[in-house]
A and B are shown apart, each in its own frame.
Chain A
Amino acid sequence: MTQLPTSTDKKLGLVIDLDTCVGCHACVISCKGWNTENYGAPLADVDAYGANPVGSFLNRVHSYEVQPESGPSQLVHFPKSCLHCEDAPCVPVCPTGASYKRSEDGIVLVNEDACIGCGLCAWACPYGAREMDPTAGVMKKCTLCVDRIYNENLPEEDRIPSCVRTCPSGARHFGDFADPNSNVSKLVAERGGMDLMPEMGTKPVNKYLPPRIKDTLNTAGTCGELETVSEDATGFLGWLDKALEKL
């Protein structure tokens, strides 16, 4: 089994803004592209053109309908990948030490050379954030693009996870939660960033920004009604003449 580090120097992770995520899957496919070509085994797709195509993805977007107490039903797009938990239950269960959390930045990774594909870590993860690669037989998960964020072969501005770089609606932010002045810490403070399922005690690093209150332009009273200058064309033209004089 693998021990979790008692603390990490940095706490790198993502802030995901549920108020602006339009559910376009840009992050899903960009992630698939980068991580197929980079860290570890490619993210395979079996029966790729057949009846039951199944591939491994490190990030998926789920959509939920929510019925508020009043007002119309809402649709929430919910991107989900590994949350790089401080108390990551997927690490201590690993029988080979393949599943580990980095002490320097808190990223949870799988050392594919040591992974025997037993699946215990995926079973332990309450978020369903790990997927067994269907051909390589090793456990795949979000690496927070560990091969991008420090990569000296990339321009500095590109040293961010591919999902963050590609997100068209600005719904994904990357940074260090250990630093209270970081962009992500500030966003969490300003927007009331939330843990996913805090009751599980995993202390997830990634945070979600809740959607703003919706459907406030609802009925009379919220914004009022325009005052009348005239109810008919004749009166309107009288008003128009007066208004034009003032111009």
Chain B
Amino acid sequence: MAFKQPVIDTSPKVSDEIRQTTCYMCACRCGINVHMKDGKVAYIEGNRDHPVNKGVLCAKGSAGIMQVNAPSRLQAPMKRVGPRGSGEFETISWDEAMDIAVGWLKPIRENDPEKLAFFTGRDQSQSFTGFWAQNYGTPNFAAHGGFCSVNMAAAGIYTMGGAFWEFGQPDWDHTKLFLLFGVAEDHDSNPIKMGISKVKANGGRIVGVNPIRSGYNAVADDWVGITPGTDGLFILSLVHELMRAGKIDLDYLARYTNAPVLVNGDEKSPEFGLFLRDKDGKELVIDKNTGKLAPFDQKGVRPDLSATHRAKGITHRPVMHMMAERYLDKEYAPENVAERCGISAERIKTIAAEIARVAFDEAFELDHEWTDFRGETHKTMIGRPVSFHSMRGISAHSNGFQTARALHVLQILLGTVEVPGGFRFKPPYPKPVSAHPKPHCKVTPGAPLNGPHLGYVTGPDDLMYKDDGTPARIDKAFTWENPMSAHGLMHMVISNVHAGDPYKIDTLFMYMANMSWNSSMNTSGVMKMLTDQDENGDYVIPRIIYSDAYSSEMVAYADLILPDTTYLERHDCISLLDRPICEADAAADAIRWPVIEPDREVRGFQSVLVDLGARLGMNGFVNEDGSAKYKDYADYIVNHERKPGIGPLAGFRGKDGDQFGRGDVNPDQIDRYIENGGFAVNHIPEGANYYKPWNNAYQDWAVGVGIFDKPEPYLFQLYVEPLRKFQLAAEGHGDRQPPEHLRERVKETMDPLPIWYAPFEDSHVDPEEYPVHALTQRPMAMYHSWGTQNAWLRQLYGRNPMYLPTDIWEKHGFEDGDWAEITSAHGSITVPVMLMASLNASTIWTWNAIGKRKGAWALSEDAPEATKGFLLNHIIHELLPPKADGMRWTNSDPVTGQAAWFDLRVKIRKTAALAEVDPSFPPIKSPVGQGPKDIAWKVGK
């Protein structure tokens, strides 16, 4: 019998319409095509024309459809009716919600603005939320950078004017050796995957330095299974090797860095260790042409990398000499670091040799003529095809700032920053410290703060103290505890608010930050702080307002809920004023717009802030007659001007919509973005697109599009003078002195040249008793807490065993299905374990934020996330155990205050399997019920 094939339709209609917007399933900001059928979202794919993802899309992006229909979406504003933490709410109208919010916020603003603490989570509208907070007048604003990657960001800004991800990227087209440090799967998601593929296609080599061989490290050609917290030591050993062999780019160092800048060598001077400067404050070098002192940027000057300057019997040496003295020391020899790093000396030497070989033997030139800031024209651009990337992995340690500094310095010594084949900045970066604001904290009741909250300090005078010497900010950012806390310390807010230290506040206002669960250290403790009552039966934290789109764990701990929309129901701008989507060859920004309208009583949080700003009569949000200045966030995006001609969106400005960067307000701007696929791009001209900090053509282009007001060429800071200023104070110079208990720590940790010291936890707990390092990472297919409510993604990662390396597995006699008690100096968890051989021998790890509280996220109470999933957060405290003097240091980097999540040390004990992980918590009442039993989501008929 002959088989007759059925006739099938191979050209079905795909959709009624494609609406192009920006993904928000993570912070990567890819362009997406949302296919619509019958007015509903039918299918999501990547936008091929988009500068970030060029058509590809990750699992999160494609699963966005399950986020938009998630049963955990909040439905309407709510006020708490049960005790805090119970999840008992009453639905209220928006009018009532706004009345309550204004009733709380107005008296605070009029009397004592610092009694509002406003902190936002992983949102991407910080230039707007910061503007709102500044006009409200509270000094207490920051976003989540303090518990994420501020070490990397701040080290990058102070060293070279930018770091990785949003600041810059490897030159994927030309790089031949790519070294990836630490976990990086959760940021810059698709571009790195595309880049890895490109490097491999070009025959390049990828080296992964990570205690865990998963994700990108699984495809790396070479895996360096380093011991956590020792990356800085490994990097400085590579520096030692490269200097020992003279494999550093002397020409680059002389021209573009402060290696030749002279450092005051007078030990008795209050300027000891600071740069010699001329009358205009310019750093001085010895000009090779004349042998005399000259400002570094004078036309025609050729800085001498090795010349010293002798005056009044004192020799002032260039930074290069100090680096030679520091890094050629045997302390950094591979033999002397190998054991601590868990990497053999031979391997360190081999990696250094490979780096040197590729940087110098595979150097190449691009035929792009360019002129530098000293007026010299170069016929070609020299390429050094070695590049690096790193994010949280090396950042989230108490030595993370100095480690990130070391990594940036390594790149600079090789001459691989802003050159073909190396690391390239993305506009608006490069941007030196001098182009950033300094932090501000001057409070005036009923009026705005005296400037932006966050910024870059250059010495003790910039610290944020009140006149009485107490910290000005609730998170104690920009104090001696963490002077360069450029992103604030969100992880300390609830703890400090609860303790009334440095002062009590009235209202805690948070957005998209799951602080009663996976976004806090010491989660159980935080839940208690949020519910704690004083002797009068009042909550110690009097009022909590929270905005989220979903029924997260934090919802239950708030008094007033302002429900946000999903990402397909809202306006947003991914702005050049903030965290844009630029590429190394182009400035770019993007919008979100409501491709569907909300079917619930929810409002975009930024529109709610616009409304609140008007109701509170805040500057920037009301007209002179007191009427509301903006209808909603979309109106703000189009009409707000930060400076004349410069607003949140750079594209389609001016009357005809043909200007980029600078231009008058264009009322049709959002429509023009929608027509253009949701984004705008302006390409950097050829010849301007490398050597950006020193390239006249780039500087002129950047001024033209409004990134700078004037060209700002600068030197890379191998030696960071602001760090030395803090150190000088600790040595006793100046009026503003660190408290005695921090004096030695400031001296030791704020070294102007990169150093390595053991993570603080190592000296606060006994490494013998707690011999194992414990880490977390997010799976590539998930981000934040959202993945777990996503019906498709939770099938990929619905539980999170603790992965143990072979040595530990065998030593304790573990078998499949076993459980273990994992104990830190702070507490214990009892959880399922699994064997993983591709691991550093003293490291265990698990996926973060898979574990869920019962009752949250519209999951059933017996969901595996709630019974077998767990958080490592329970055993990480925001304070370290007391030192001998009884003082407790925060579990943070001493320079930036970044949360030191990855310093954690634990011990392991095999236990009987439990029915549920320990600790487990009673269910919270779901304000949205539970999700449907089965789904089969087909919107087309």
A binding-site residues for B, Cβ under 8 Å = 2-3, 19-26, 28-30, 32-34, 36-38, 41-55, 57, 63, 65, 67, 72-77, 97, 100, 102-103, 109, 111, 113-114, 134-136, 146-147, 149-154, 157, 162, 165-171, 211-212, 214-220, 222-233, 236-237, 239-241, 243-244, 247
Contacts and interface: CB of A to CB of B under 8 A. Distances in A.
B934 A223 contact: no
B81 interface: no
Interface stretch (B111-119, B345-353, B752-760): B345-353
A226 B242 contact: yes
Given A32-B792, A42-B936, A22 B225 contact: no
B306 interface: yes
Given A168-B53, A214-B221, A247 B214 contact: no
Given A51-B860, A222-B350, A224-B353, A229 B12 contact: no
B393 to A, nearest CB: 16
B389 to A, nearest CB: 14
A146 B8 CA distance: 9
Contacts of B939: 37
Interface string B206-247: 010000011111111111010000000000000001111111
B267 to A, nearest CB: 18
B100 interface: no
Nearest to A52: B864
B727 to A, nearest CB: 21
The 10 tightest CB contacts between A and B, nearest first, are: A49-B931, A226-B245, A73-B837, A168-B193, A170-B197, A229-B246, A44-B936, A42-B938, A150-B10, A75-B218
A100 B838 contact: no
Interface string B291-335: 000000000000011100000000000001100110011000000
Interface in B833-891: 836-838, 858-860, 862-864, 867
B630 to A, nearest CB: 36
B168 to A, nearest CB: 19
Contacts of B221: 212, 214-217
B860 A22 contact: no
A75 B838 contact: yes
A206 B936 CA distance: 29
A211 B305 CA distance: 45
21 contacts: A20-B196, A26-B56, A26-B781, A37-B37, A43-B936, A45-B934, A45-B935, A52-B864, A147-B10, A151-B11, A168-B190, A168-B194, A217-B221, A217-B347, A222-B350, A226-B247, A226-B356, A230-B244, A239-B246, A241-B306, A243-B246
Nearest to A33: B62
Contacts of A76: 218
B643 interface: no
By CB atoms of chain A within 10 A, which of B14, B205, B304, B780 has the most? Answer: B14
B760 to A, nearest CB: 29
Centre residue among B55, B213, B791, B934 by max chain A CB count within 10 A: B934
Contacts of A211: 219
Nearest to B194: A168
A224 B414 CA distance: 19
Contact of A216 (B57, B198, B222): B222
Nearest to A225: B349
A146 B193 contact: no
Nearest to A228: B244
Nearest to A50: B860
B925 interface: no
Contacts of B241: 226
B764 interface: no
Given A75-B218, A166-B46, A247-B254, 10 more contacts: A19-B200, A20-B196, A24-B189, A74-B838, A149-B10, A151-B10, A166-B58, A212-B200, A237-B324, A240-B305
B932 interface: yes
Nearest to B781: A25
Contacts of B867: 51
Contact of A24 (B48, B250, B781, B837): B781
**Interface residue tally on B, bucketed by range:** 35 or more
B10 to A, nearest CB: 4
Contacts of A230: 244, 246, 328
A18 B62 CA distance: 22
Contacts of A47: 933-934
A20 B244 contact: no
B304 A244 contact: yes
A3 B863 contact: no
Contacts of A29: 59-60, 62-63, 781, 792-793
B58 A26 contact: yes
Interface centre among B61, B207, B218, B356 (most CB of A within 10 A): B218
Interface of B: 2-3, 5-6, 8-14, 35, 37, 42-46, 48, 53, 55-63, 65, 71, 185, 189-190, 193-194, 196-198, 200-201, 205, 207, 213-223, 225, 241-247, 250-251, 254, 304-306, 320-321, 324-325, 328-329, 344, 346-347, 349-354, 356-357, 780-781, 789, 791-796, 798, 806, 836-838, 858-860, 862-864, 867, 930-940
Pick from A57, A134, A153, A214 the residue with the most CB of B within 10 Å.
Answer: A214
A218 B350 CA distance: 7
A212 B201 CA distance: 12
Given A50-B859, A229-B246, A167 B56 contact: yes
Contacts of B344: 219
Contacts of A102: 5
A45 B791 contact: yes
A220 B791 CA distance: 50
A149 B11 CA distance: 9
Contact of A223 (B56, B357, B937): B357
Contacts of B6: 100, 111, 113-114
B245 A233 contact: no
A55 B795 contact: yes
B219 A20 contact: yes
A217 B350 contact: yes
Given A75-B218, A103-B5, A240 B306 contact: yes
Contacts of B71: 49
A42 B3 CA distance: 27
Contacts of B194: 168-170
Contacts of B325: 233
B936 A30 contact: no
A230 to B, nearest CB: 7
A24 B193 contact: yes
B196 to A, nearest CB: 6
B807 to A, nearest CB: 12
A243 B938 CA distance: 70
Nearest to A32: B792
A102 B347 CA distance: 54
B780 A24 contact: yes
B306 A21 contact: no
A226 B244 contact: yes
A114 B219 CA distance: 43
Contact of A26 (B9, B57, B213, B324): B57
A168 B56 contact: yes
B57 A49 contact: no
B245 A228 contact: yes
A135 B796 contact: no
A231 B244 contact: yes
Contacts of B53: 168
A49 B798 CA distance: 11
A53 B795 contact: yes
Contacts of A224: 350, 353
B623 to A, nearest CB: 46
B932 A223 contact: no
Contact of B43 (A19, A20, A37): A37
Contacts of A169: 193-194, 196-197, 219
A233 B59 contact: no
B931 A48 contact: yes
A148 B324 CA distance: 61
A67 to B, nearest CB: 6
Given A23-B215, A55-B792, A217 B936 contact: no
